[in-house]
């Protein structure tokens, strides 16, 4: 079981990109390629594909309706003052997103930091490959809806790799358009229903 989990992690991390190129507004060829590498349909403003089951092994399609779009717009209504306010709104949207997709994916009670010891219940859990992709999907959805004014969505980034004594771990990333500082948006460290970590990527890269 541990060997299978390691294969899933390594295959997922191999698909992570550590470059600095960001996605253009909406979806560009790079973004589409990233999704194709995981056999996923890129997100649209009407439907998304959510990964779960470890290594993006299970795909669940979820429709995005007018009510969902209105809720997200409301979350960002007070985020027009600054990049910090927008990051706070992103964290709130991440919390909403987790609760929104839970009933459809069976992940309503998922735990924090799910790993190989939880592989027997993986269908109802997220590993970091799942959460980094799902969070990127949410961020691209926000971007397509015109709700991101201060940030650009980046490709996912991974840290660790066993040789440095750390397990591989991946996160979604945004860049502050004014400062060019990159921020990790990482829900994997939290159980169901909590806000994701939003912290400078430089800090995130140094953590275990």
pLDDT tens digits for 52-75? Answer: 999 999 999 999 999 999 999 999
What is d(CA 31, CA 23) in angstroms, rounded to the nearest whole number?
Answer: 6
Burial of residue 164, with CB atoms counted within 10 A of its CB: 0-12 exposed, 13-18 middle, 19 or more buried = exposed
pLDDT at 161 over 80: no
Q: What is the DSSP string of 22-60?
A: BPPSS--HHHHHHHHHTT-PPP-SSEEEEEESSTT-EEE
DSSP state of 81: S
At 8 the pLDDT is 45
At 22 the pLDDT is 76
At 2 the pLDDT is 44
Q: Which residues contact 185 (CB under 8 A, 6 or more apart)?
A: 90, 91, 94, 135, 139, 171, 172, 173, 174, 196, 197, 198
Minimum mean pLDDT range among 45-54, 100-109, 137-146, 163-172: 163-172
Q: Which residues contact 12 (CB under 8 A, 6 or more apart)?
A: 55, 56, 127, 128, 129, 170
What confidence tier does 176 reach under pLDDT thresholds 50, 70, 90?
very high
Q: What is the mean pLDDT of the chain?
A: 88
pTM for the whole thing?
A: 0.89
């Amino acid at each position: 079981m541990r060997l299978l989990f390691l294969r899933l992690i390594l295959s997922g991390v191999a698909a992570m990109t550590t470059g600095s190129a960001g996605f253009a507004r909406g979806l560009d060829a790079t973004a589409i390629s990233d999704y194709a590498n995981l056999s996923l349909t890129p997100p649209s403003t009407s439907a998304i594909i959510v990964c779960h089951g470890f290594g993006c092994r299970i795909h669940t399609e979820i429709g995005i309706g007018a009510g969902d779009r209105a809720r997200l717009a409301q979350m960002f209504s007070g985020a027009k003052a600054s990049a910090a306010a927008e990051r706070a709104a992103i964290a709130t949207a991440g919390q909403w997103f987790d609760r929104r997709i839970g009933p459809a994916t069976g992940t309503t009670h998922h735990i924090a930091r799910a790993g190989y010891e939880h592989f027997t219940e993986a269908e109802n859990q997220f590993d970091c490959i799942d959460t980094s992709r799902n969070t990127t999907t949410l961020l691209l959805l926000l971007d397509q809806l015109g709700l991101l004014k201060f940030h650009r969505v980046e490709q996912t980034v991974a840290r660790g790799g066993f040789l440095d004594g750390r397990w591989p771990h991946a996160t979604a990333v945004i860049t502050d358009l004014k400062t060019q500082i990159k921020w990790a948006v990482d829900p994997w460290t939290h159980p169901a229903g909590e806000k994701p970590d939003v912290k400078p990527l430089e800090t995130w890269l140094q953590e275990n």
